[in-house]
Amino acid sequence: MSDGAEICTPEEVLEFWFTELSYDHWFTPSAELDRQCAQRFQASHLALSRKLDDSWRQTPGNWLAAVLLFDQLPRNMYRGSPLVYATDCLALREAKLAVGASADIAVPAEWRPFFYMPFEHSENLTDQTMSVKLFTALGDPGYLDYAIRHREVIERFGRFPHRNAILGRISTPAEEDYLAQPGAGF
């Protein structure tokens, strides 16, 4: 990188996500965790979003680290900004390639949901259907419930209404009604 920042390794991403953090960290917003993610991974995220080195696809674990770097870490690093979704397409591309190569089956079962979340985060119904299929096969009722609820929102609106404000999109009256309900959005 031209600014001299060092790019992290896939092992550093996996160690951070699966050893230093836990389920509660993954799904509970925290300003401290957001700051830590940005400090440790933002330079790598930006550099690798321009060009992902093939070493990130050499093993199933490495591939998962790339998916995490493009899908999960931005949700912490850029919370409250449209940048949260900027590399979703890259995460989905890597997840599709990895699942197509059965890399998801080669990692521990508790890691697999992170290969599948880019499908769940997509605003494309075909991807949402694949998400439900993958989470069904995983067999975890909690993850499957979220996958089904995400797909239902895309079936209904064709997009996630809770993203509208941050992305500068105009909500339809039906989306406004949905967003006014308790528990709407994700």
Spans of all domains in the chain: 1-107, 122-185
User: Cα–Cα–Cα angle for 57, 62, 64, nearest 5°?
Assistant: 100
Query: Given this model, what pLDDT does residue 2 score?
Result: 43
Q: How far apart are CA 176 and CA 186, in angstroms?
A: 15
Q: How far apart are CA 120 and CA 72, in angstroms?
A: 12
Q: Is the pLDDT of residue 7 over 70?
A: yes
Percent of the chain surpassing pLDDT 90: 95
Query: Given this model, what pLDDT does residue 37 score?
Result: 97
Do the domains 122-185 and 1-107 match in fold? Answer: no
SS3 of 104-167: the string is HHHCCCCCCHHHHHHHHHCCCHHHHHHHHHHHHHHCCHHHHHHHHHHHHHHHHHCCCHHHHHHH
Query: Given this model, what pLDDT does residue 4 score?
Result: 53
Q: Is the pLDDT of residue 1 over 70?
A: no
Provide the token pair at 166.
């941050």
3-state SS, residue 180:
coil
- pLDDT tens-digit readout, 20-71: 999 999 999 999 999 999 999 999 999 999 999 999 999 999 999 999 999 9
Q: Is the pLDDT of residue 6 over 90?
A: no
| CATH match of 1-107 with 1.10.150.20 | no
Tell me if the pTM is above 0.85.
yes
Percent of the chain surpassing pLDDT 70: 97
Contact between residue 5 and residue 47 where contact means Cβ atoms under 8 Å apart: yes
Residue 4 phi/psi, 5-degree rounding, is: 85, 0
Q: How far apart are CA 18 and CA 10, in angstroms?
A: 12
- pLDDT tens-digit readout, 134-156: 999 999 999 999 999 999 999 99
Query: Given this model, what pLDDT does residue 5 score?
Result: 66
Task: Please state, in angstroms and as integers, the Cα–Cα distance from residue 113 to each residue in 7, 14, 85, 137, 148, following that order.
Answer: 25, 14, 18, 11, 14
122-185: CATH superfamily: Tetratricopeptide repeat domain (1.25.40.10)
